């Protein structure tokens, strides 16, 4: 671009525009940093705490003076290893199974809602909405009673089944919204072009539906991973107790030692998968949470 052909006024105007653009850009970076600090501060805080030695916990400072990995050693290879690793294994296993079951069932259900005419379609959606609004704690007492009498108390299935009440409704709604947006005519078009029905479905529909199913799985996993009420009420030992419940009941390696550091370290470890998923799939998660929302 040559500035020679511009009159001085025009050049001045261009500089103004440039400066204004740069100012807006700086403004946006400032806003972004404020938002980032607000969103990440508690995570940074517990991260800092996880590197403090027991003696430093009460130093009244954000950062540890001499960062130490002692807390991580305690929960990964030390005295609390069994407690934490079994809880981590329970959390991973139970959350993944509950997510898979919910996503498979919800995919079928949402496909029917999006593609087929059948009486009771609205009932399915209304019931899943009601289920999602339900206070979990109201289910705990009867399930606690029932699980104890039929032997599901403190087992994996004893948590997976109630987790479905958390993951199924959101999976159905999210997937139904996704499937509404798929151009299903593509399937017929592929068949007209000579593909078999199965080929048409696999080649035309699956690639379009897969991202929605995947996003739904992430959201459902977050919900199962986060559960606390079922976790503390329907388990009693390391056989099935998931991490959030284990954290709440963790009392430390010995009664003379504060469990603060070890809990912080465990909290950081279970936050890593969340942060990774969020960083990798930010776009999809936002789309999943807002897709089809509130058409006015």
Among 53, 68, 155, 260, binds other proteins (CB under 8 A): 260
Residues 83-122 that bind other proteins (CB under 8 A): 105-106, 108-109, 111-114, 116-122
Q: Should residue 51 be labelled a site residue for other proteins when binding is judged by CB under 8 A?
A: no
The number of beta carbons lying within 10 Å of the beta carbon of residue 156 is: 17
Residues touching other proteins, count (CB under 8 A)? 114
Among 14, 61, 81, 89, binds other proteins (CB under 8 A): 61
Q: Should residue 129 be labelled a site residue for other proteins when binding is judged by CB under 8 A?
A: yes
Residues 223-252 that bind other proteins (CB under 8 A): 223, 225-226, 228-229, 232-233, 243-244, 247-248
Distance, in Å, from the CA atom of 207 to the CA atom of 73, rounded to the nearest integer, reads 44
Q: Should residue 272 be labelled a site residue for other proteins when binding is judged by CB under 8 A?
A: no
Cβ 25 to other proteins shortest distance, Å: 6
C-beta separation of 69 from 51 below 8 A: yes
Closest CB to other proteins among 17 and 35? Answer: 35
Closest CB to other proteins among 3 and 18? Answer: 18
Q: Should residue 159 be labelled a site residue for other proteins when binding is judged by CB under 8 A?
A: no
Closest CB to other proteins among 3 and 69? Answer: 69
Q: Should residue 136 be labelled a site residue for other proteins when binding is judged by CB under 8 A?
A: yes
Cβ 70 to other proteins shortest distance, Å: 15
Residues 21-40 that bind other proteins (CB under 8 A): 24-25, 28-29, 31-32, 35-36, 38-40
- By CB under 8 A, which span of 7-15, 66-74, 190-198, 276-284 interacts with other proteins? 276-284
Distance, in Å, from the CA atom of 55 to the CA atom of 260, rounded to the nearest integer, reads 11
Residues 162-201 that bind other proteins (CB under 8 A): 162, 164-170, 172-174, 176-177, 180
Closest CB to other proteins among 6 and 104? Answer: 104
> Tokens 């809990």 — which residue?
263
Q: Should residue 160 be labelled a site residue for other proteins when binding is judged by CB under 8 A?
A: no
Q: Should residue 145 be labelled a site residue for other proteins when binding is judged by CB under 8 A?
A: yes
- By CB under 8 A, which span of 9-17, 80-88, 187-195, 271-279 interacts with other proteins? 271-279
Encode the chain in three state secondary structure.
Answer: CCCCCCCHHHHHHHHHHHHHHHHHHHHHHHHHHHHHHHHHHHHHHHHHHHCCCHHHCCCCCCCCCCCCCHHHHHHHCCCCHHHHHHHHHHHHHHHHHHHHHHHHHHHHHHHHHHHCCCCCHHHHHHHHHHHHHCCCHHHHHHHHHHHHHHCCCCCHHHHHHHHHHHHHHHHHHHHHHHHHCCCCHHHHHHHHCCCCHHHHHHHHHHHHHHHHHHHHHHHHHHHHHHCCHHHHHCCCCCCCCCHHHHHHHCCCCCCCCCCHHHHHHHHHHHHHHHHHHHHHHHHHHHHHHHCCCCCC
């Amino acid at each position: 671009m040559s500035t020679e052909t511009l009159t001085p006024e025009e050049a001045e105007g261009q500089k103004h525009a440039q400066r204004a653009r740069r100012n807006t850009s700086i403004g946006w970076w400032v806003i972004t940093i404020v938002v980032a600090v607000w969103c990440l501060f508690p995570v940074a805080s517990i991260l800092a705490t996880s590197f403090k030695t027991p003696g430093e916990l009460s130093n009244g400072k954000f950062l540890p003076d001499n960062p130490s990995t002692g807390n991580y050693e305690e929960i990964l290879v030390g005295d609390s290893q069994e407690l934490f690793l079994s809880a981590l294994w329970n959390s991973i296993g139970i959350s993944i199974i509950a997510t898979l079951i919910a996503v498979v069932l919800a995919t079928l259900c949402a496909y029917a809602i999006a593609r087929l005419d059948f009486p009771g379609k609205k009932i399915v959606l209304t019931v899943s909405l009601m289920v999602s609004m339900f206070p979990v704690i109201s289910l705990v007492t009867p399930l606690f009673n029932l699980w104890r009498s039929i032997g599901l108390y403190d087992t994996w299935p004893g948590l997976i089944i109630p987790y479905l009440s958390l993951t199924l409704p959101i999976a159905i709604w999210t997937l139904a919204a996704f499937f509404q947006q798929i151009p299903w005519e593509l399937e017929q078009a592929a068949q007209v072009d000579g593909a078999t029905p199965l080929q048409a479905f696999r080649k035309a529909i699956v690639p379009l539906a897969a991202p929605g199913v995947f996003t739904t799985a992430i959201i459902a996993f977050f919900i199962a991973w986060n559960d606390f009420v079922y976790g503390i009420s329907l388990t009693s030992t390391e056989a099935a107790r998931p991490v959030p419940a284990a954290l709440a009941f963790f009392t430390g390696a010995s009664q003379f030692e504060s469990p603060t550091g070890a809990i912080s370290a465990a909290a950081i470890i279970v936050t890593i998968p969340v942060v990774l998923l969020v960083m990798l799939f930010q776009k999809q998660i936002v789309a999943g949470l807002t897709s089809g929302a509130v058409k006015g």
